[in-house]
Structure formats: C-alpha cells, structure tokens
Structure 1
C-alpha cells in the first residue's frame, strides 16, 4: 500500500482499464503478442463490473458464428485472410465487444443517415478493388483504426454510427505478410482492401471480399502444410 495510505477507487480503476483497452485496440502489437493483453483487460473490466460470466457468453457467441478452431477468432481469420492472422483483425472483433459493453471510445461517430448509407452501399462498393486511401476518401476517417497509421502494415478501419444499437462496419486491409529474409516486403505502397465485415451473421457470411481479397484467400490445403 502507498505510504500515504490511499489507493485508487473502483471508478478510477475502471476508467483506467477502459483507457488501456482503447489503446490496446488501436495498437495491439504494442501491448502483447496475439490477443493476450486484450483478453486480460476484458477479464479485469468484467471483474470490476462483477460480470465475469459475460466473457464465457461472448466466446460461445463467437463459436456459434463460426470461430470453431482451437485458436478461436484468430483461427477464423487464419482461414480467411492471407499471410496468417494479424492482430488488428482480431482487435476489430474485440472492438465490437467493447462497443456493446459501452467501453469503446470512438474517434468519430457517423451521423445516423451517413452510417445507414454506408451499410447500404458497402456490398456493392467492395465489388471493385480498393485501397486504404479509397476507403477514407469515400467514407471519411474511421471511428477506430486498429493497427496504426503506418502504410507498411495492414489494419482494420471500423465505422460506428450514432445509434448504439447498430453494428459496426469494418474494412480489413493488408500489405503483405510479416517480413522474412526471403520475402519482398512491403508488397505495396499502401494497404489494399481485402474485405468489409459487418452484422451478426456467421463470420464466413459477414465478410464481403473484394476481387483482390478473393484472389488472396488462402487455399484450404495450405492451412495444413
């Protein structure tokens, strides 16, 4: 205990954990490998809120939506995205959970009409190949950027409307796999859009792939090599 005998109160602890979670969602690789930091922060927040059972409920929901591998949501992205599972993809799913719990602190909220228009257009819009600049030019700055602003790396851009009941829309972008001595990296000057994702459908139905995303999807046999 501090020498002055004071400790942080519950509200201060909760606010601190929310701040840390929002930072980890935006820069997951700075906090841990995989989703360890996100999982820990969620556990601690639910403990403070006396709702530890909510995490088990969320995991069951992920399984029911198609995250059936032993590595959960990370395994689902492994099957859908090239080059393995990047942390910012997984962070986007945690961001949706944080939004539903009231923990997410968005950088921007889209007006209700603008968010409705985005959702109505996104399926048709991703039928052409798009880049990071195309997404932000068309829809503006995201509500949350998972992965940072460095164009050498992929990222996930999330858009959230003013209506808290509406689901987020995420754009998943990619710029090559993790650097390796025998590989050329980065592959592109800026990340390209692989897929948009929104709604509570099974994961494999919630993704709408661009032509580039379909070309780069892993072959089923490659997952077991």
Structure 2
C-alpha cells in the first residue's frame, strides 16, 4: 500500500508556509495557530469574534455583565450556556463571553443573594432571580438601560460578520484537520476518508 508522506524539502516548505500563513494552512486563517487573516478572512479576527482578545474589552465596562445576566435571568430562569448564547445575540454575533468570565460572575451573583440555583436537566445549574436580585436591578435601572442601549448601538453598527457559531465550527474543523495531518503519514484509505468527509461537509454547506 502506498503511503503519503512529505519529503524533507517539502516538510521545510510546509513549515515555512505555516509560519507565513501561506499555502494550505493559510487558507484556514493564517497557519495552524490561527494567526493572520488568511484567504477566508479568519485568524486573529476569529478569536475576537469568539469573545477573546482586545475586541471584547471595548464592548463591556467592568461590572456590566452582572446587570445583563440578572436582566436575562429576570426574563426566565436560565442555564449558563443560555446566558452566553443570549449575550451573543444581543451583540449581533460578534462577541461571546467566555465561560471563564460567565460562571464566576454567576457564582458571585448567587453569593450576593441575587439568584438561587437549582439543578435542571442533566444536573446543570439553573439560575433564578430572587427578590433581592429584582430590587438590585430596579435600583440600577438607569445603568442597565444605558448598557442595553449601548449594545443595541454596537449591534446596529457592526454590519455583516460571520455568525459566531460558524466561526467556532470552522475553527474546530481547522484544528481537527491540523491535528490529523501534523507529523503523521496517511494511508490511501485514510486520505480518501478525510477528503470524503470534507467534500460531504462542503456539499452540506452548499445545500443549507
């Protein structure tokens, strides 16, 4: 069975391509590490659109998320992942708060007595607003209204950007391909299977 492998010269060229953001890896956003814009306009931008990097800091001031979380929980009891999704939608898909920010903030709100936690489906924590939390929101109504108005303005001014869910999925695909190919040799069957999976994904996207 024939084995696909890189010659030594090819390996050096591909390593250079990954550093420079050209070639195969460049088409996935600027190399295996995702640096640079790449042919599809993803890369460092991808991290910003997923709520990482400097772009996120310009959206919320310190403490803003507490008020937004409580306001969302006032609408209905929510799980942490539902809060993350709701914030994404409010910002227009260009920002997603990281779990490392969301869950410590939710814990703080619980400790302050503004929410209570019960176990919902699958043992996940379900957050419900307390009377104390409702009073806290009422006391800070003007601040909350200002935060929401700022988000609406940001969302309206962003223009078109790739949806966060699509960016995340593309990043996962890039990493899956990278981890499978990096430093490995592929048999013909493996190469065909990977190519078929990518072709199927492309066809499904075209038909979506």
Answer yes or no: same fold by TM over 0.5.
no
Normalising by structure 1, we get a TM-score of 0.26
| Structure whose residues are more often helix by fraction | 2
Name which one, 1 or 2, has greater alpha-carbon Rg: 2
Normalising by structure 2, we get a TM-score of 0.27
